[in-house]
Each structure stands twice: as C-alpha cells, then as structure tokens.
Amino acid sequence: MSTTLNILAAEASICTACVLAEGRSSVVFGGGSTDAKVMFVGEGPGAREDDLGLPFVGRSGKLLERLLAEEMGVERSAVYITNVVKCRPPENRDPRPNEIEACRPFLEKQVALVDPVVIVTLGNFASKLLLKTDIGITKLRGQSYVYGKSQRHLVPTFHPAAALRGGAEVLAKMRSDLVRAKMLVES
Ligand code: URA
C-alpha cells in the first residue's frame, strides 16, 4: 500500500462516524494493487470479511476471483478491491444512507489515490452511489459511463452474490460486463 493509502487506512481503522463501528471486528478498508488499472467496489463486508479484515474473501469473492481470471485474465492481486461501507452491517442488512454517506469520503479518496482507469461497481449500492443515480443495476449495466468529472470509465455490473443466487443469466451478464471493463483498460 502506498504511504497515503496507509494513512487513510489507519484513519479508517479508528473511524466511529456511524453505528457500524459498534459491531465490527475489523474495518475492511480494501486491498490489492495500489496502482491497479481496475478498481472493484462492492457493498460492504460480510462475516468472513469482518473476521479476516479483507474484502471479498467469502463465496462472492471466490466467484469474483474466477471471473477475473476467466474474463479479464488477471489475478486479484492485480486489481484493487474495496466496498461502499468498510464495516459489516449487522446480520448483513443493507447499509443505510447515513452509513454510506459517512464512509463516502474514504471511497472517494481511495479512487483518487489508486487512480484506476476503470471502476467496476458491483451491485446496486456501489453503482447508485458512484453514478449518483436511483436507477437500479439491471437497467444501468450493459454499458460504460464516465465517473464524475474524471476521465475514468465506470462499468456497473451485478454483485457476485446476485450471480450466486440468480444463476446462468446473471453470470453471463457479469461476464460480458467484465469483458467490457477489460477492453476499456486496454483502449
Ligand atoms: N460482499 C461485498 O459487497 N463485499 C465484500 O467484501 C464481501 C461480500
């Protein structure tokens, strides 16, 4: 991790800006290559992530790793992975608007510091937040966007948990979204 990301992670590790601080075992800040060309943004840590302090280390993470290898030809160590909220919501409930808002500065700083060419948002929470929209992921996905005022591309796709639940059709769409992300990195 670069020095500045380390400082940000240290700040996050003592954050008490929202109620999620009360139930956490760890702050799951993010991980991977700090000069990655692709950054993935999920929703929030689950139980396993909270235990280990690392993002996407459960079933969703295993699927994400497989798709990274099969569709983008990369290992997870080549990308940067983080979440909208860095602390586990109790019982894996949805993160609340005030929790998302409290954590947003960390995510925005991570984007600026990692400086990826492409951001892939996984699911509704990350996609709606970073695209500043209320439109759901089913409608959003299938194309790329420009992230904010930057030159970065943003590719919204389903959350891997949706693919685990939703089967072949969701998975096929995720695959094609990741191919789109790879093409944008290479363009
Ligand atoms: N789901 C997420 O959104 N993030 C994780 O880190 C793990 C599961």
What SS3 class is residue 86?
A: coil
Report the separation in Å between the CA atom of 143 and the middle of ligand 1, taken as the mean of its atom positions.
Answer: 23
Report the separation in Å between the CA atom of 43 and the middle of ligand 1, taken as the mean of its atom positions.
Answer: 6
b/e code 143-163 from CB counts within 10 Å (16+ = b): ebbebeeeebbbbbbbbbbbb
Which amino acid is it at 169? Answer: E
Per the structure block, which two tokens stand in for 63?
């699927």
Per the structure block, which two tokens stand in for 166?
């939703």
Ligand 1 probe mutation, 60, 65, 128, most atoms within 8 A of CB: 60
The ligand 1 atom at the shortest distance from the C-alpha of residue 60 is: 8
Q: List residues near ligand 1 (CB under 6 A).
A: 42-46, 49, 55-56, 58, 60, 83
pTM here?
0.96
Report the separation in Å between the CA atom of 49 and the middle of ligand 1, taken as the mean of its atom positions.
Answer: 7
What sign has the CA pseudo-torsion 94, 96, 101, 103?
negative
The ligand 1 atom at the shortest distance from the C-alpha of residue 48 is: 7
Report the separation in Å between the CA atom of 44 and the middle of ligand 1, taken as the mean of its atom positions.
Answer: 5
Q: Which residues of 4-67 form beta strands (DSSP E)?
A: 31-32, 38-42
| pLDDT, one tens digit for every residue, the chain (187 residues) | 567 999 999 999 999 999 999 999 999 999 999 999 999 999 999 999 999 999 999 999 999 999 999 999 999 999 999 999 999 999 999 999 999 999 999 999 999 999 999 999 999 999 999 999 999 999 999 999 999 887 899 999 999 999 999 889 999 999 999 999 999 999 9
Containing structural domain, residue 159: 2-186
* DSSP assignment letter at 17: S
Per-residue model confidence (pLDDT) at position 82: 98
**In residues, how long is the chain?**
187
Per-residue model confidence (pLDDT) at position 166: 86
- Total number of domains constituting the chain: 1
Per-residue model confidence (pLDDT) at position 2: 65
157 - beta bridge partners?
A: 122
The ligand 1 atom at the shortest distance from the C-alpha of residue 42 is: 3
Report the separation in Å between the CA atom of 163 and the middle of ligand 1, taken as the mean of its atom positions.
Answer: 13
Q: Whose CA is nearest to atom 7 of ligand 1?
A: 56
Q: What is the CATH number of the domain that holds 119?
A: 3.40.470.10
